[in-house]
Structure 1
Amino acid sequence: PCPIEVMRQVVDQMGASEITIAYGQTEASPVITLTRTEDTLERRVSTVGTVLPNVEVKLVDPETGADTPVGEQGELLSRSFMVMKGYYNLPDATASAIGKDGWLHTGDLATVDKDGYYRITGRLKDMIIRGGENVYPREVEEFLYTHPKVADVQVIGVPDERFVEEVMAWVMLKPGETADEEEIREYCKGKIAHYKIPRYVKMATEFPMTVTGKIQKFKMREVAIEELGLQKAAGIETA
């Protein structure tokens, strides 16, 4: 999803007053939820809207599969005539993605409010478990976007011998701005939980991406392990 702060800038600086946000996946052909032009700006910049007609959505606990109540985070599942039949010649992948009852597991974490507006909070596979505490990269990224010097940011988990995983932020600054790792960490103190503050900060000029522009966090993790010398924590044998 588009970062909230970026969306505000699009509305304020580009004059796109009626812009809306859609959420979906290719497997869902592709839109599941959508904001509307008549929604308040706050809802259009902070949520992905409500469910489209003829589409079902529910949030479930990733571990138990039980439905989660309003306001609590869960994995977003969708069911409709628009959901794919399956991945071509990949029956195991299809069975993993779509349950016998037709629910598509998106792998996205979300919450829903009492009015039916959804907010994407992260990717299930990207969740960081630091010393038993769950850290959702999306939450930390959204906070770091509020730093006046930050243009873009990606948060990943890197291996750690003590906590199993630690939080790392890759930060791109706005043109002409300067900042170091300590400034970024100091900005977080007292504003987000201590275990969510990035232990490592990399000042980056680019992020690894696919040809279609998707961030490759697994490659960021590989680079971090090499640059930070975390091979032992990662269980990687080195010569």
Structure 2
Amino acid sequence: MTSLPKHEKFHEGSQQGIKIYGWTITTNKSPISNSREIEKVQKEVSIPLPEMFFGNNSLKLTNDYGILFEFSPLDALKMVDATAEGGEKVKVAYSEEWKKKSAKNHEHIKDVIKPYDWTYTTSYSGTLKGSVDDQVFEKATDRIDMEKLRKIEDILFYDEIDLFEDELADNGTAILNVKIRVMPSGFYILQRFFLRVDEVLFRLNDTRVYHEFGTEYLQMEYSSREEQYNKIKAVSIYKFLKHLKHLFLTFLFYLENT
């Protein structure tokens, strides 16, 4: 049996985390921001806050050399397009789908034509607040080794933190959250912005961060994907029917052999 590396877990109030190999990883999970907190945040951003804004939630990574890397809901919100053009992006890019949806629900849909990106789409990929010798993330050809991450390891620490969520005036949903898992070999972070605009589109903006203990760098990858709502819906229905067919054939085989 392989011995686990020396580590220390901690949990105090809304914070919990782990200390390992010179790193301190801290998550903070609190209720939705109250009116006083929302009023304070609203002074820093020019768009209305999402319906569920977890302003006190965060994921922070620090190490003995001065690195401070954080995932913050406020910093993520600051990267939402606050211009009038931002409010038209989905409408223009998916004009045909938008027209169909608008025709079905004209009174409701006009509520979400707003002078900012009402989908709360953000390309936020974390905030580097402290570094060694003013280092920053640099472009690289190396990719995160996903095969290595698929290997079975002990999970020394895991957490999932909600940053914000909005139901887009009952026209879909926008969610930003971040997950972290710490293994004996390193830690892996996935921040995901998920968007669904009913009858129009799905969108995923993913930020992945990986550190292998013993190395001197963090790896970060950002990707953005989107597809028309009906195409995703068709694929989902096809997979469901295929699964249903498999269950039916399995049931027939069982009947024939009993």
| Higher radius of gyration, 1 or 2 | 2
Greater fraction of residues in strand? 2
Q: Which has the higher contact order (CA 8 A, sep 6+)?
A: 2
Q: TM-score, structure 1 length as denominator?
A: 0.25
